[in-house]
Chains A and B, each alone.
Chain A
Amino acid sequence: MVSGSGLLAVMVMLPFIGALVPGLMIRAGRDACAMFTAVPTLLALIFLGILAPEIMAGGTVTAKIEWLPALGLNANFFLDGLGLLFAGMILGMGLLITLYARFYLSGEDPMGQFYTYLLLFQGAMLGISVSDNILLLLVFWELTSLSSFLLIGYWKHLPEGRQGARMALTVTGAGGLAMIAGMLILGNIVGSYDLSVILQHGDEIRASEYYLPALILILLGAFTKSAQFPFHFWLPHAMAAPTPVSAYLHSATMVKAGVFLMARMWPVLAGTDEWFYIVSTVGLITMVIGALIALFKDDLKALLAFSTVSHLGLLTMLLGLGTKLAAVVAVFHIINHLTFKAALFMSAGIVDHETHTRDIKRLGGLASLMPATALIAVVAALSMAGIPPLNGFMSKEMMLEEVAHTDWWGGKWPIIILATVGALFSVAYSFRFIGHTFFGPVRDDYPHHPHDPPTGMLLAPGFLAVLVVAIGLAPSLIAGPIVAAASTAVIGGGELPYYSLKLWHGVNPALFMSIAAVLGGAVLLWLHRPLDKAWIRTPRPEAKAMFDRVVAGTVLGTRWLIEGTHNGAISRYLSIFVVATVLLGFAAFQGGGLPEQTREMLPVPPLVGVGFVLTMLATLATVFAHRNRFRTLILVSVVGLMVSAGFVYLSAPDLAMTQISVDTVTVMLMLLALHFLPKYTPLESPLSMRIRDGVIAVIAGAAVAALAYSFLLTDMSPISDYHLANSYKGGGGTNVVNVILVDFRGYDTYGEIVVLGIAGLTLYALMEALLNGPASRRLRNWTFPPDRSRDRHPLMMVVATRVMMPIAALVGVYIFLRGHNMPGGGFVAGLVISIALLMQYMASGFAWTQERKRFEYHAMIGWGVIIAGLTGAGAWLAGAPFLTSAFGYFTIPPFEEFELATAMLFDLGVFLTVLGAVMLMLYSLSRMARYAGETVNLEPMDYDPSRRVDAAIEADKKDDA
């Protein structure tokens, strides 16, 4: 014995698993493809059949699979009467549609895709109908939106298909999103997202203060899906889909999902005034408007589409009435609507297929040409009109009877009149569908001469038409049990009210209303021609145009907003950043107090005062002179020097050395770089903007100064005390700055040299991209300024730098070696050596110097990073963590005792990286220069006086000779 819950879970999964098949089976032919699409549906239907008896006996089948318990979202399924009804409709219709589509789709349409989408959609619908978790229901709900998007847009080469698909997705997607919020509120009220739990808590939900928002949000989902006014407009445009899709989506499935949801939630949401007035009113309006528009539609499918809207309105209104009997009627009408509407869509599809038109004004007289189709269509349409003895008659009678007993907006008459008018229109368009398509004279101008289609195509609608008659004749026998089971589920268990499914209910108000509707409908059809003219003349709001305008307007609005703000104006980005920072910093500052001041202000010695003033002046001058870039560079270097002086004054020789050498290298490189840039910054921003930026800058600067000032007023015990105490004992160095750099926080330094290494790589890659791109053309056409020096490599400089070279190198080595114990270290040493080399390049030109270099800068960076990394990793061999240092003291006569530390090896890595990175930058700049046509000098200097002397001596010798 297979467990029911297992069957249920597998049943839900079947269409999704099956969806993989058609795409492949299409390679075996169209018949095989259709057949293999039917298999999962058929299997699921069989499973459902196995489960059905238990449900019909009043039981439920549940399956629980844990999915996301943290959220309360679980793959819980349960099958009760309502679920059974819908699952049966979805699967049964799925099977019929599969059959019908096999004959409908032309050879050019990709059938595999079609069936895949169809199965996905079917799975999603099936999921909705058996979900026992409202979050799971949401999952399937959104899946129907997505899969219907694919189905409606199936004929993707047609603009109507694409637009219809997008419109459906937008409207139903929006509703679905609203529903997410509604469901979350509902779950919050109850404390569980399980439907079976929620259904137990109706009173609690209706009493909650969040009832109304939840109701509105959930109804938004239902109304959009079920095309209720004012969201009804998407449905007719979804008719751009192939007819099997329309028949499926608009009879049994997609649009019924909203009705299903209202029925599902009926026990907890219905029964309040809010529910009654919102739902019944919307339903009634939709019913009347849909029927009215349907009467004047010439496209067969559009007529049926608006008829569907109208019938969905009818169902919504019934559920909205809130009485149990109305709910029963709704369930019964759901079945009846499915049978006749699907048959009608399929017939319309056949007519389209055979005559190549769906325009009712170009049709007529088809009854004699395609009798079988006509028979099916006429039976179904009469049922739609509510003519006895067909099933549509019965549910309509019951609806009218129910309406006749309802007080609505202060009386019985408004609803009676509106419902009768709706029914009247319904009769009229049904008669028009019959009369103008199948009767009347046979024409000779059909786009294609029609005849009945192959039997396969007639099977599905024929079967449905038989159902229409059968339910009409023996309602309790065929539909009775399922109506009872489903209705019990809708009203939330308990006794069903008294009702009887039969044709003759005696002489009651409904009968009069019905007679009025039929007679009125016939009159309307008789008057159709003049009415149609009047309708065409009357201006009406065109939903599609409005929708398109709204979407286009929104797109333009967002585009304006987004492109206006994200337009690459970096100065605005930065000013927003700075302003936000200051404001948030201030807001945070306000929330707390300052600790007590523990430090006294120090007196300002004159020397410091001078430095301070100089810094300020240089900064101010930079602001005013910044358009002249060379001058700015000089001024900025003054600031750099003053900062170094400050470090010296505050006894931080390491920092001072680093600052000076970094400053020197930077200024030199920037001077070289400026060569390729405009010498002046143009004035681009208006005065107002400059004032704005100035104000922002001053405020931000003041804020940072205030921040620094306030934290300098208090003492604290920093971790650096430990560093001071343990530098020598633990790190083997007396220069605590260096020990911090290479030992305590060597990992930071490692990171920083990696940064340098990456900068080198990036620079190289960037240069490569530039010189291979369009920029290289500009470089090639570079014209040198006329005031260019004629003596680029002056003698004095060449001689001076040559003399300096060994001294500088020696200083570099010295600084490197002493670094661990005295101010210095790899970083500074690298910079010192770079400066020495930089000067050679400046003096004699890059190419000349390049010829004399013995090592690759590129590789130097790499080796630096690798040496530092391997030094760190070396500690692993000793079982110690990365970068653990070791040091020892050695004596090799005749030297004094000296120290060797692994930290020095690490420092060597730093040294190499720094040197390599600086040299690579220089190399890149010189490459640009050579691209720009800079000549390469072969001699160390442009003008070599010794050569002249030699030449003179030569000449003298010659003269002597």
Chain B
Amino acid sequence: MNHWIIAPVVLPALLAPIIAFVMRHDITLQRAASLAGAVMLTAIAAGLFMLSADGSVHVYRLGSWPAPFGIVLVLDRLSALLILLTSVLGLIVLMHSAASGWDTRGRHFHALMQFQLMGICGAFLTGDAFNLFVLFEILLIASYGLAIHSGGKARLKSGLQYVIMNLAGSSLFLIALGTLYATTGTLNIADLSVKVREIPVEEAALVRVAAMLLMIVFAVKAAMFPVQFWLPGTYANAPAPVAALFAIMTKVGAYAILRMHTVVFGPDADAIGSLSQDWLMPAALITVAIGGLGVLGSRRLMPLIAFAVLGSTGTLMLAVSAFTPYAATAALYYLLHSTMATAALFLVADLLLARRESGDLLRAAPATVQNGFLAALFFAAAIGIAGMPPLSGFLGKLLVLDAVRVADYTWLIWAVVLVGSLLTIVGFARAGSLLFWKSTSAAFAGPEPAPEEERPPANTIGPMLAAPSVLALASLAALTIFAGPVSRHMEATAEQLFDPSAYVTAVLADQEGTKDPSSKSHGDEEAAAKGYDESGAEAGTPSEEGH
């Protein structure tokens, strides 16, 4: 068994408490540890990516218990890809946080970051539905801590809304899992895949409800209509690097739907049929529309970006909702793009807002230092998120549009996505023109700049500070240039996803090396029997899963 599979969880989970409790008095030490951790995580993720690239499915049986009785981690192409994405994003965000000093504006930033990475990686790796719930909790609490990092009234208020909405989602998650367990008697994803397919449609009412409730739970995470309301406020008020990291958070929801509603509740299961697609697609479509409208209607830059994130998520979910291998290919390519584009935009916005005295309100104000450089970064990031060439968003959008042709109302989808793009383009053009062009007009030409030596030290963007944003943008360029190889890998990933037999076989069959309790027992057989009887009498409740 390859122990590296669990490293993306254990490494940050051990590092975080050390950062929080041993290094808490020295920010430099924290930064060094946190960055080193992120570098190691990226290296491990790259290794796992290579490991899974050949299409093999690797199962890690925690506690040596056989599936479906213990918890398993499953590394396949999809999980490996997303872990790699998470670790790269994490590294970029950590660099920015350290360079911009965001990590000093509140306590425990780095520890929370590590825990957050742990939660995200764990969610991508787990092969157990209840464990997914646990990891969602980790994600939620860590992201809440990060979202309110450094405090402030608006931030605390939107953070509260975030946590309330997501707690409601978590409660629903439990209800859904209860229903699922009561119907199938298992929580292991591979086992569920088998069990759900055994249920005839005449007896499928409950499992259908479970599938739908789970979809809503994941939709809350992915911020889809009608449970998207929390996102704009939370993202707009979160510290910018945190918002950049949150780019992957909506993708956790997308991933969960992609995983659960293909492997378990796939369209090939009689009990489910086209249920997932029927509801997901309209919801995604409305999300796209809300995103576009919001970008155009926003008065402030951060909400504008947040709405662009909504639009991007909606587009991603559109591709997911088609539930075909080709659409999943499109979805995965777009997912990579959307994550990095969102992150880039938030990081660039942070560079700008840190230098702009009037905050993120979209109104003309004197130009900041390095107006041209910031404008160029913003232009590139806006092109990315709006899905314009030459960056990968355009390719992603074409792929998505091409892939959703399975629906009966393709024309409507195209119209909404394209009009949404137009609204986004116009919204960003207006914002950019206000922020970077109007600021240079004569009305803002202040008094002659003071002589060099009298000026206060300019708040210029050095290479260390610019690097993370530039890296994120460069990744979009790389995605464009290497679209062929990337899409081929996505294709292979999607194929693996839509043929769950390898996944199921890897988890359920071939369980050598797991604990075989019959061979290992206390010498006194009677005592063993007695113990079993006792425990049986004591713990005969149907809901042991509750902690």
Contacts and interface: CB of A to CB of B under 8 A. Distances in A.
A142 B393 CA distance: 12
Interface string B357-392: 000000000000000100000010001000011100
B213 interface: yes
11 contacts: A67-B484, A71-B402, A143-B390, A146-B388, A562-B293, A589-B208, A595-B203, A596-B203, A736-B544, A858-B24, A863-B17
Contacts of A747: 62-63, 71, 131
Contacts of B201: 591-593
Interface stretch (B344-352, B468-476, B520-528): B520-528
Contacts of A585: 209, 212-213
Given A178-B418, A574-B164, A70 B399 contact: yes
Contact of A744 (B69, B181, B296): B69
A185 B130 CA distance: 44
B298 A580 contact: no
B356 to A, nearest CB: 17
B14 A559 contact: no
A870 B14 contact: yes
A821 interface: yes
A584 B394 CA distance: 33
B531 interface: yes
Given A562-B307, A591-B205, A745-B70, A711 B179 contact: yes
Given A68-B483, A593-B205, A762-B141, A169 B429 contact: yes
Interface string B497-529: 000000000000000000101101110000010
Contacts of B172: 581
Interface stretch (B45-53, B89-97, B532-540): B532-540
Interface stretch (A416-424, A625-633, A720-728, A937-945): A720-728
A157 interface: yes
B213 A881 contact: no
A741 interface: yes
A563 interface: yes
A729 B229 contact: no
Contacts of A725: 517, 532
A823 B233 CA distance: 45
Nearest to A141: B389
Contacts, number: 462
A754 B118 contact: yes
Interface in B390-427: 390, 394-395, 398-399, 401-402, 405, 411, 414-415, 418-419, 421-423, 425-426
Interface string B105-148: 01110011001001000100000001100110110011011001
Nearest to A872: B10
A194 B474 CA distance: 29
A724 B279 CA distance: 40
Nearest to A739: B535
A551 B423 CA distance: 10
A211 interface: no
Given A577-B227, A748-B134, 18 more contacts: A73-B398, A138-B394, A150-B379, A169-B429, A181-B415, A184-B401, A576-B226, A588-B275, A591-B205, A593-B204, A595-B206, A652-B539, A710-B205, A711-B182, A719-B187, A730-B520, A858-B21, A873-B14
A729 B517 contact: yes
A562 B145 contact: no
Interface string A725-755: 1111110011111011101111111111011
A158 B441 contact: yes
A135 interface: yes
B62 A592 contact: no
Nearest to B191: A719
A768 B539 contact: no
Contact of B293 (A561, A741, A858): A561
A181 B401 CA distance: 8
A33 to B, nearest CB: 16
A959 to B, nearest CB: 58
Interface of B is mostly: helix
A761 B20 contact: yes
A842 interface: no
Interface string A219-238: 00000000000000000000
A862 interface: yes
Given A71-B395, A866-B18, A872-B10, A882 B3 contact: yes
Interface of A is mostly: helix
A862 B21 contact: yes
A651 B484 CA distance: 60
A70 B131 contact: no
A591 B204 contact: yes
A594 interface: yes
A730 B517 contact: yes
B244 interface: no
B451 interface: no
B205 A555 contact: no
Contacts of A740: 544-545
Interface stretch (B28-36, B153-161, B335-343, B459-467): B153-161
A751 B137 contact: yes
A551 B161 CA distance: 32
B542 interface: yes
A951 interface: no
A158 B441 CA distance: 6
Interface string A410-444: 00000000000000000000000000000000000
A651 B540 contact: yes
Interface in A550-582: 551, 554-555, 557-563, 565-566, 568, 570, 572-574, 576-578, 580-581
A718 B206 contact: no
A720 B60 CA distance: 20
B290 interface: yes
A735 B539 contact: yes
Nearest to A584: B212
A744 B483 contact: no
B418 A181 contact: yes
B426 A765 contact: no
Given A146-B388, A728-B532, A723 B544 contact: yes
Nearest to A879: B1
B64 A884 contact: yes
Nearest to B207: A592
Contact of B429 (A166, A213, A719): A166
Nearest to B180: A711
A587 B518 CA distance: 46
B13 A869 contact: yes
A277 to B, nearest CB: 23
Interface stretch (B79-87, B254-262, B431-439): B431-439
Interface string B177-202: 01101111111100100000000011
Interface string A68-81: 11111100000000
Contact of B433 (A73, A153, A720): A153
B398 A135 contact: yes
A612 interface: no
B140 to A, nearest CB: 8
Contacts of B191: 719
Given A159-B441, A166-B426, A581-B216, A869 B63 contact: no
B484 A68 contact: yes
B69 to A, nearest CB: 5
Contacts of B545: 740, 745
B229 A707 contact: no
Nearest to B547: A752
Interface in A849-876: 858-859, 861-863, 865-866, 869-870, 872-873, 875-876
B493 to A, nearest CB: 12
Contacts of A588: 205, 208-209, 211-212, 275
Contacts of B101: none
A723 B69 contact: yes
A746 B63 contact: yes
A882 B6 contact: yes
Nearest to B536: A724
B100 interface: no
A106 interface: no
Contacts of A589: 205-206, 208-209
